[in-house]
């Protein structure tokens, strides 16, 4: 039975914070609010430090439902920079190839982007948290190594609001759990022959949960958590 320490918190994560940073903040205040130093806190779907937007944080017995939350479909606002390649497939990495002119027309770029809609096999980035032989891929990559990752089946339900401005391509996309938007950026760049990397990412929905109903990280404090614990039934 759900108690008043079993919470589902919607948080609007800012850029520069890791998902674990947000969990640590919630853990600090929920433990103070409940006087329970052992209460569990976890998140339901990592956002990279560069990314912003909806992060679901679970407390108490709700952490047992973490897997079901993580399997939900997600919606993102994304920006891809064309004409360059990053070793992490996003703006957090080192640019390893740049100033390559994308000679494709705007029509061709949009058509190529739309070709990703549907079900496909997607190769995760080397800089990912996927574990192989007990080691996270990004930990191996940071040491100059590579991990033998396997392609995974993903589904891109829709790509909308496509805008192209110079070498910047922005759009909104709804995808299945496990889909890497960084991989879309990388693969699009390869298809266009000019390279591409993810330069901005904002998660706006996780299934029915909307970032517009999320708390900014600046509002997560002891007073708020005490109020939630006192009013949750």
Q: Are residues 44 and 106 in the same domain?
A: no
What total number of domains does the chain contain?
2
pLDDT of 188: 97
**By C-alpha distance, which of 60, 11, 69 is closest to 33?**
60
On whether residue 1 sits in a domain, the answer given is no
Kindly report the pTM of this predicted structure: 0.91
78 with 151, same domain: the answer is yes
Annotated catalytic residues are 48
Each residue of 54-91: pLDDT tens digit?
Answer: 999 999 999 999 999 999 999 999 999 999 999 899 99
Q: Are residues 128 and 221 in the same domain?
A: no
Return d(Cα 175, Cα 163) in angstroms, integer. Answer: 19
- Contacting residues for 144 by C-beta, under 8 A, at least 6 apart: none
Residues 161 and 221 in one domain: no
Cβ(1)–Cβ(207) below 8 Å? no
- Residue environment code for 25-37, b if the CB has 16+ CB neighbours within 10 A, otherwise e: bbbebbbebbeee
Show the low-confidence residues of the chain (pLDDT under 50).
1-2
- Inside any domain, residue 3: no
Which domain CATH number covers 38? 3.30.2350.10
Same domain, yes or no: 50 and 80: no
Write down the pLDDT at residue 1. 34
Judge if 120 and 46 occupy the same domain: no
User: Any idea how long the chain is?
Assistant: 233
| Whether residue 122 sits in one domain with residue 111 | yes
Q: What is the pLDDT of residue 3?
A: 56
Domain enclosing residue 200, as ranges:
74-206
The predicted pLDDT at position 162 comes to 97
Both 163 and 141 in one domain: the answer is yes
Reading the block at residue 84, the tokens are: 């360059």
Tens of pLDDT, residues 81-96 = 999 999 899 999 888 8
Tell me: do 138 and 218 sit in the same domain: no
The answer to whether position 155 is within a domain reads: yes
């Amino acid at each position: 039975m759900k108690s008043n320490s079993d919470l589902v918190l919607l948080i609007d994560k800012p850029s520069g914070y890791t998902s674990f940073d947000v969990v640590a903040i919630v853990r600090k205040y929920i433990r103070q609010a409940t006087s329970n130093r052992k209460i569990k806190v976890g998140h339901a779907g990592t956002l990279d430090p560069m990314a912003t937007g909806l992060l679901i944080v679970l407390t108490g017995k709700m952490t047992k439902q973490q897997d079901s939350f993580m399997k939900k479909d997600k919606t993102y606002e994304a920006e891809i920079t064309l004409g360059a390649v990053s070793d992490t497939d996003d703006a957090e990495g080192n640019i390893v190839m740049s100033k390559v002119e994308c000679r494709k027309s705007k029509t061709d770029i949009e058509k190529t982007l739309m070709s990703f809609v549907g079900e496909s096999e997607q190769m995760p980035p080397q800089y990912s948290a996927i574990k192989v032989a007990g080691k996270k891929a990004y930990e191996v990559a940071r040491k100059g190594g590579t991990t033998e990752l396997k392609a995974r089946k993903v589904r891109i339900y829709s790509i909308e609001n496509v805008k192209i401005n110079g070498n910047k391509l922005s759009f909104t996309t709804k995808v299945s759990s496990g889909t890497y938007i960084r991989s879309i950026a990388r693969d699009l760049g390869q298809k266009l022959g000019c390279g591409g990397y993810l330069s901005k990412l904002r998660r706006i929905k996780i299934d029915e949960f909307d970032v517009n109903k999320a708390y900014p990280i600046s509002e997560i404090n002891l007073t708020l958590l005490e109020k939630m614990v006192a009013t949750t039934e």
